């Protein structure tokens, strides 16, 4: 049939690569033609009270006074995307104190992120499915990032790119046993931690995951594991080094998020209805020497379980795309809901077939779990729109399309048996 021939022609790997490059070019062209609210860099600096103005001031400080940001006398505090300050500063050095070049670079990074994610997962799908996946990636990138966040100075624009680069190098590097790509993956993961600190949990768990692979190679594997771990550690420790040089406090994460319990208290405070006087008379707490914040939250959970768990259930629904759950005038993101249905379908089918899971697959699922768990437990995701979720969305989406392949294969197998 003619349609089958057209599909076969369009859905080759070579044409998929061409389509991915076209998408990069499309975002670049769009960046040149769209309207920006911030036409000058000074207008961003003047828009006080928002993260983008703080990033802009920090970047200017780096350009004018040095990479240690000497005017910040203590530990780096806010905003959480420490590395993003240096990204903007680099743009200022290269292009001058102008806003347009920064936005153009961010659009380009978005296009490259789409291409990298497509190149990472296309070999895990049939050719037609991979092509549809690329189209879906473009739609997600356009609706979620381009329309809302590419024309703003927010660290998610950089984090999407660094995480996309990480998974491209990680999956290809371990599939092909390419140690150079594996080291680039370690480097990009360290930079991702500096861009979005909630990725730190995943970076820690990544070491034992790759250790299983490396230690099978005996002595050379141990050497490679050591080099991988050192690369990841050093690349994620730039903030620690800065804090130590400036104020002799080797704090690994921004002070704003270093205390997880303190962060939770800010966004989910213990309500007055919880009787905290029990804390002083409960000998168990005293014997265990628990932190007071942990004790207070234990009492909150025990005394008001419905209120406690309802709050976190709402955050889960928010992450799944039901944004109106917090009543802030945001609509349901139906493309997220469909994506999650596909993702959980994939998990169900994958567990059902009981085949061995590859390391790349474990790595991606672990990232999704760690990223969402850290945000649900400790961040006010509903107060920031949905931007904090963007560095993970692209990595949930491919499993929905892999589920389509699995369902179609099941249908064909069932039909052949009949």
The per-residue pLDDT for range 181-192, each reduced to its tens digit, is: 999 999 999 999
- 204 versus 11: which is more confidently predicted? 204
Distance CA 258, CA 269 (A): 18
3-state secondary structure string, 276-303? CCHHHHCHHHHHHCCCHHHHHHHHHHHH
Could you tell me the two tokens for 350?
């994958």
pLDDT band at 280 (very low <50, low <70, confident <90, very high): low
**Cβ-count burial 229-245 (b if 16+ within 10 Å, e if not):** bebbeebbbbbbebbee
- pLDDT tens sequence across 108-159: 999 999 999 999 999 999 989 999 999 999 999 999 999 999 999 999 999 9
pLDDT band at 416 (very low <50, low <70, confident <90, very high): low
Backbone angles phi, psi at 386, to 5 degrees: -125, 15
**DSSP structure string for 106-125:** HHHHHHHHHHHHHHHHGGGS
Distance CA 73, CA 18 (A): 49
Per-residue pLDDT at 279: 63
393 near 364, Cβ under 8 Å?
A: no
Distance CA 177, CA 80 (A): 34
Q: What percent of the chain has pLDDT over 90?
A: 65
Average pLDDT, the chain: 89
398 near 114, Cβ under 8 Å?
A: no
Per-residue pLDDT at 4: 52
117 near 394, Cβ under 8 Å?
A: yes
- 101 versus 298: which is more confidently predicted? 101
Give 246-249 contacts, CB < 8 A, sequence gap 24+.
246/68, 246/69, 246/70, 246/72, 246/73, 246/74, 246/75, 247/73, 247/74, 247/75, 249/74, 249/75
pTM for this entry: 0.92
Distance CA 261, CA 242 (A): 24
119 near 195, Cβ under 8 Å?
A: no
Secondary structure (3-state) at 37 = coil
Q: Assess whether pLDDT exceeds 80 at residue 6.
A: no
């Amino acid at each position: 049939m003619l349609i089958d021939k057209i599909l076969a022609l369009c859905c080759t790997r070579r044409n998929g690569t061409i389509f991915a490059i076209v998408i990069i070019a499309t975002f670049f062209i769009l960046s040149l033609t769209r309207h920006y609210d911030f036409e000058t860099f000074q207008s961003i600096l003047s828009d006080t009270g928002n993260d983008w103005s703080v990033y802009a001031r920090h970047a200017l400080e780096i350009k004018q006074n040095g990479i240690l940001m000497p005017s910040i006398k203590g530990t780096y505090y806010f905003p959480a995307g420490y590395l993003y300050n240096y990204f903007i500063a680099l743009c200022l050095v290269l292009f001058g104190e102008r806003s347009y070049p920064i936005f153009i670079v961010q659009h380009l990074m978005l296009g490259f992120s789409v291409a990298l994610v497509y190149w990472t997962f296309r070999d895990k799908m049939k050719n037609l499915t991979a092509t549809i996946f690329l189209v879906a990636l473009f739609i997600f990138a356009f609706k979620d990032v381009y329309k809302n966040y590419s024309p703003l100075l927010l660290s998610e624009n950089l984090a999407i790119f660094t995480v996309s680069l990480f998974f491209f190098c990680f999956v290809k590097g371990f599939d092909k046993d390419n140690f150079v790509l594996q080291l680039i993956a370690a480097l990009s993961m360290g930079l991702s931690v500096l861009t979005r600190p909630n990725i730190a949990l995943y970076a820690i768990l990544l070491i034992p995951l790759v250790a299983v692979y490396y230690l099978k190679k005996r002595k050379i594997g141990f050497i490679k594991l050591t080099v991988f771990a050192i690369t990841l550690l050093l690349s994620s420790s730039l903030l620690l080094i800065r804090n130590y040089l400036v104020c002799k406090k080797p704090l690994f994460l921004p002070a704003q998020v270093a205390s997880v319990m303190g962060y939770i208290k800010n966004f989910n405070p213990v309500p007055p209805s919880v009787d905290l006087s029990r804390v002083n008379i409960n000998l168990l707490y005293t014997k265990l020497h628990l932190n007071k914040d942990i004790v207070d939250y234990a009492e909150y959970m025990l005394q008001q379980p419905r209120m406690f768990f309802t709050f976190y259930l709402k955050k889960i629904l928010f992450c799944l795309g039901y944004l109106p759950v917090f009543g802030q005038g945001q609509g349901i993101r139906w493309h997220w809901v469909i994506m999650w249905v596909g993702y959980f379908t994939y998990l169900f089918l994958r567990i059902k077939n009981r085949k061995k899971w590859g390391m790349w697959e474990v790595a991606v699922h672990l990232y999704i779990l760690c990223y969402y768990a850290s945000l649900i437990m400790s961040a006010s995701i509903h107060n920031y729109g949905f931007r904090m979720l963007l560095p993970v969305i692209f990595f949930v989406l491919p499993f929905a399309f892999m589920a389509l392949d699995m369902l179609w294969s099941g249908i064909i197998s069932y039909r052949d048996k009949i």
